[in-house]
Structure 1
Amino acid sequence: MKPLKPLINSLMFKLFLTIFLIIGPLIIFHIINNYYANEVIRNQVAQSNKNMLNIYMDQIDKSLEGVGNYIFQLSANTDLYFLQYHENFDLNDYEEAKIRLSNSINNQSYFYTAIDSIFLYSSSYKYFLYTQKNDENFTDRMNATDEIHDLLENTPENLREGKWNLWKGKKNYYLLYYLNIDGVYVGAWVNMNNLVKPFKYIDFGETGRALLTTSMLQPITNKKFIEDEKLDLTFKGNKFAVSGDNERFMVMKEKSSSGDFYLLALIPESEILEKLPFLQRISSVISIGAVLFLFLFIFIMRKVFLQPIKRIVSAMKKLREGDMEVRLPMNHNSTEFEVMNGTFNHMISEIKDLKINVYEEKLNLQRAELNHLQLQINPHFFLNSLNIIYNLATVKDFAIIQEMSKCLANYFRFMFRSNSYFVSLEEELKHTENYIKIQQLRFPEAINYEVEASSDLMECNIPPLVIQTIAENSIKHAFNMDEPIEIKITVKKDNEDPGFMEIKIQDTGEGFPEEVLCSLENDESLTNQEGERIGLWNVKRRLNLLYEGYAHIHFSNEQGKGATVRMKVPI
């Protein structure tokens, strides 16, 4: 949720939300109004075409039912007896019966215009009699006659007797009705393509049309058109559906009560929407205009108002991160933003100059403090050295006085040349060893030391007197006459970060008192009125000033080993 809070609280979000709350309801109202108007038009068109389909389907069903009744009456005609198989066959009676039956079905065929043909077929004598229309294509008529003749002769059991059957021929679908009277088939058929011919006079629009489907809603007519337009005819319900990928069509259907087929009407949706009232079109124009106005207003506000504010906010973020070079462009914008940009740039320049001055002043203060800290260390050992020489002169041990004088000369030579902030590690270690040797001359067989340092670190720079001061602190606080003290100094690269060196000074004394460790961890001053432990505080303070927080020093006690000091400084 936190990343969303700045966005929600931003000026841009509040502005867009306000505009949307004003214009949004108007747009939503017009969209709902348009949708409702479209649905009303669709329902009206669907209802009108549904009624038309119902009327036409009712006419087809009545025609089919009338033909079925006629076929049933024809099945009772006595002349059919002569077409059945008889042992005593009278050729004259047979021929006369065919003539009478032919005249009868030809006369009736004129009353049932929806039917293509009424037929009689004698399976005993392989005789096939049928009516024909003058407007029929001869080739289509002969193909249909041959297919139905083969069906009745070979597989009549595939059809239901006394029902209108939807039967697929080689090229076309047919509706076929028949009755079997002792081997004589009486029936009628109709080509399904002829059932939709009257619809060519009805206006369904430029691409609209009527078509017939099976009971599974598989297209019988206009099959290629359905595939090209990718229409889905298998919708549920009896009202209407809208389908199509290339062009949207309203689809309505009506099922036949006599046969297993549907009659469907396809109305282009574009034709329907063209009939919307003028006010509905005006409403659509207003909705589109409102949306365009919203985007135009947002674009203008973004260009004139939001982008300059965004540039100012971005510059402030960079300034907060410490980038003092950031400046706002002096573009030709509103007068107010030009004043703001100029004032911001002037303010940054002044802050930069002030920061440089403060930084230089801080450096001067740090240099003065470092010099002061190093001056605190020099007199500290100087007084101890004079005391050592005085004690040796008292006992008149001239050999040790000579060695001591030599060591003190080397010691003070280092002290007098170490006014710089850094010396090499090699020089610091030699100075520390020289200091410990002075203490060994003072207390023979009481102090031992060991130094381990990586040779590749000897040329690296460290602050002067940091190792010597801690070694001096160990001798001062861990030394006793009863047991020799051992001091071990180890210098190596840090295992976790090779860019740092780790300096470890460890003694075998009793370790730091708990209150001293607590003060060191809390970065509290250890200096008392007598000036004791000023060395440790000096080391911490100088590391902090010289490395600005990148160096670390840690004080601890290790059981069985005494006080341990670990320093981590950049190489």
Structure 2
Amino acid sequence: MEREPDNEDLKQSGAIPDAPIGKFGFSWKNTVYFRLLATLIIVILPLYVIGTNLYQWGASTIKDQVTAANSSQARFYLDSLETDIRRIQALQYDTLNDEDLNELANLAGIMTDYEYSRAVDRLKQRLKAIKSSSRYIEDVTAYIHPIERSVSAVGGYREFDANRFEGGGGPGTARMTEPSGIMYQSEARVILLNAGSSMSKQNGGHFPQYSIEVKLAVRNMQEAMGDPEYSDGGFMLVDRNGQIIFNSSGTSAFAKALNTGIRGQLGNGNKGTASLRVDGKLLLAASENSAYLGMDMVRYIPADAVFKPIDNYRVWFWIFSFSALLIVLLFSYSLYSIMHRPLLKLLRAFRRLRSGDMQIRIRHNHNDDFNYLYMYFNQTVENLDVLIEQVYRQKILVQKAELKHLQAQINPHFLYNSFFILHRMIKGRDMANSLVFSRELGNYMKYITRSAAETTELANEVAHARSYAEIQAMRFSNRLRVEFAQLPDTIANKQIPRLILQPIIENAVVHGLPNKVTDAYIRVSFPSMEGAVAIVVEDNGEELTDLKMSSLRKQLEFHDDNQETTGLLNIHRRIQLKYGMESGLTVSRSEWGGLKVTQLLYVGDE
């Protein structure tokens, strides 16, 4: 048996030159493998240097981005708070012009009890609407000084303490020093937004006729900021005097130390970023201020939470890199010697086998798994050579026999029906139609007997089906109409199996329309489909039930060699044997409720 020449044979024949042999059994100097290793090392070293620089640059970029994001988020929260307070104040000032409020302040003495009560209710409803407009609002109160009464969205109608608006004001109270303003009430942990009307004298003091006070809950404002992204991070809101309004995390001492450190670096009321250590923790802080609110928003995050994972990654990156490089070098050498070279030889043999070279044989010089693999490969190729020849011949013979058998079933099936129809015509003494029928039957016999070929042009098959349709139309002249669509010229000359259209029309007549007394209708069309010939036969029969449809689909989908292949199954099987499993028949309901049979023949360029 002829064998494939190995390196020693090629050397002896002069096909490849001798090379000096190194300590590993081959010359490193002249091998592509050595050059690839050298190239790999040359590429990896600069990559490691670039990777280190990228790490430093990345760490710096991340720090800048985190700092910028920190400032942006603090600015966003402060702007959102300012926007809401501006909107709330706009509602305050708008309420100062409320008709009911003015009447209660100026006309309470001449109003009836009903008018007074209605005015109070309407004012209370308006205050409730303001309260519902923002989650920051805890209560909205209208103080009416001439009658020393207040109307609250929460507390309703009641008296109020006039001392609240006097110059003194005790601990925990808000002092009104201007007609409108924002004040922080530290002990009550609320922010008061006051807006008053024109000033008037009363009981020796100056008071607005009425004022609107919006009470903002700091706790709600704090909750609106959301949970801090880092466990040791958070938010802090500070007023213009440096007093902490709220701190989202940490103790009071922690917040004071943080506030002192930030103001020490940035100054009172200045904005910017700061890096400082509080309680042993390095923090990155960003401060943004609002001149309108007179408040600073501070957002702080722990530096370790941001940069410690990066530092750990750098150490593990180098450990992994050097370990991976060493493993790759050792593994690549072992893999090449033990597996890569024998596999390449085997792959080349498979490539030649795939191209049809059944004489390929390979050898291995070591008594290992590849030696057995090569031996079984050679035996498999020898067996394949014999089996392919046998199976190919057997398949051809079986297909020819089955095709002959299937086509032979078609002709008697139609003839039995045709002679029975002719018998009925003669028996009924319908001589004119009998003459036409016998002529068409003769044309039919001529078509199926004039050639032994298994295929014909589609135009001939359609003409044959038209003859059959005319015969059936003569038989059922009062109730059957068969309509053929125009056959496209692009597929008229396509070669198709004989007798695949007429039996489908016959199936529609026999099984689809037996009880159709009038207006029985069959349509044959040829829809355009790229790469395939499509023929559709549909009727308006009333015999098709869902159970019959399901049974027919199962018969077409699952072929049983023991099943009788007649009618539609016959045609389906013949088409699939010739053109493959993608071709064949599919069934569905027609638009008139009868059976719709679609033939697809992927005939290619035949």
Give the TM bin, normalised by the shorter chain: 0.3 to 0.5
Tell me the TM-score normalised to structure 2 length. Answer: 0.40
- Which gives a bigger RCO, structure 1 or 2 (Cα 8 Å, sep 6+)? 1
Tell me the TM-score normalised to structure 1 length. Answer: 0.43
